[in-house]
Amino acid sequence: MNINILHMIDGAKNAKGLTVIIDVFRAFTVEAYLAANSAEKIIPVGDAQIAYDFKSKNPDTILVGERHGKIMEGFDYGNSPSQIRNVDFSGKIIIHTTSAGTQGIANAINADEIISGSLVNAKAIARYIKSKNPENVSLVCMGLEAKSQTEEDNLCAYYIKSLLEGNEIDLKNEIENLKITSGAKFFDKSLNDIFPEEDFYLSVEANKFDFVLRLHKTIDGLGYMEKIEI
C-alpha cells in the first residue's frame, strides 16, 4: 500500500487511488454530525451557485456552508458542528459547500474512490482503507481555505497514516498544541460568532463515530456522501 500525503487543490487534483479529502476544522466534522443525525442525503458542492439553484427547485433542501468561515447568505446553517449537532435531519437533503473541504471533493477528478476525512472518524477511515487494501492511498489535507497548510489537517493525515502502518501516534499532546496554532481562532472571543469555542472540541473528539462517508457519484454530477458503518 503506497500512502501519499498531499495538500490543497493541487493535491486533490493529483490524488489517485483511494482518496481521503481531509478537513478537520470544520467541513467533514460537520458532515459526520449531519450523517449521525440522520440526514437522508449530503451533497457536497464546490460552487455555491449550485446550492442556490438546487434550493430554488427543491425548497425543502437544507443549505449548510461558509465562505471565509461565515455562514453564507440564504443558508440555513453555517459550517459549524455546534450549530447542528442536536438537530434531527431525518428525511432532509443537505447541500454543503465550504472554502476548503468540498473544494477538495470537487477537484479530486483522478481518484478511484473518495471518502471524507476528519479526526472524529479517523479510526473508522483507517479500518475502511485496510478492508479495501488499495494499491494507492492519497491523504489530501485541504488546509485553510485550500490556500495554506494547517496543523489540524496535517495531524489527521499523519494519524491515519500511522494507523494504517500499525504505529498509532499519540494525539493528546498534538491536539493540545492545536489550541495555540491553527485552532487558536476558536479561543479568540472577538471571533466566537464565526468560530465558536465548542467547535474546536467537537472537531478534535477523535474517533467518536464508527462510519465513513464515501462519495457516491451520480449521472447528474451531484454526488452524495454515502454513510458506511465500519
pLDDT in tens, the chain (230 residues): 999 999 999 999 999 999 999 999 999 999 999 999 999 999 999 999 999 999 999 999 999 999 999 999 999 999 999 999 999 999 999 999 999 999 999 999 999 999 999 999 999 999 999 999 999 999 999 999 999 999 999 999 999 999 999 999 999 999 999 999 999 999 999 999 999 999 999 999 999 999 999 999 998 888 999 999 99
> pTM for the complete prediction?
0.97
Task: Establish if 71 belongs to a structural domain.
Answer: yes
Task: Establish if 24 belongs to a structural domain.
Answer: yes
Pairwise CA distance, residues 36 & 211, whole Å: 9
Domain that holds residue 154: 2-210
Q: How many CB atoms lie within 10 A of CB 207?
A: 16
Task: Establish if 112 belongs to a structural domain.
Answer: yes
Rg (CA), the chain: 16
Task: Establish if 219 belongs to a structural domain.
Answer: no
Q: What share of the chain is helix, strand, coil (3-state, %, to 5)?
A: 40, 25, 35
Task: Establish if 41 belongs to a structural domain.
Answer: yes
Task: Establish if 85 belongs to a structural domain.
Answer: yes
Residue 30 belongs to domain with CATH number:
3.90.1560.10
Number of domains in the chain: 1
pLDDT of residue 220: 80
Q: 107 Cβ partners below 8 Å, 6+ apart? A: 9, 12, 13, 46
Pairwise CA distance, residues 60 & 9, whole Å: 31
- For cell 447568505, the residue is 73
User: Which residues is 226 bridged to in the sheet?
Assistant: 214
In the three-class reduction of DSSP (H, G, I as helix; E, B as strand; rest coil), residue 45 is classed as coil
Pairing mode of beta strands 17-22, 111-117: parallel
DSSP alpha helices (H): ranges in the chain?
8-14, 27-36, 48-57, 81-84, 101-107, 122-132, 151-164, 172-178, 197-203
pLDDT of residue 95: 98
Task: Establish if 74 belongs to a structural domain.
Answer: yes
- For cell 425548497, the residue is 59
Task: Establish if 223 belongs to a structural domain.
Answer: no
CA 29 to mean position of chain CA atoms: 6
Whether the CB-CB separation of 197 and 183 falls below 8 Å is answered with no
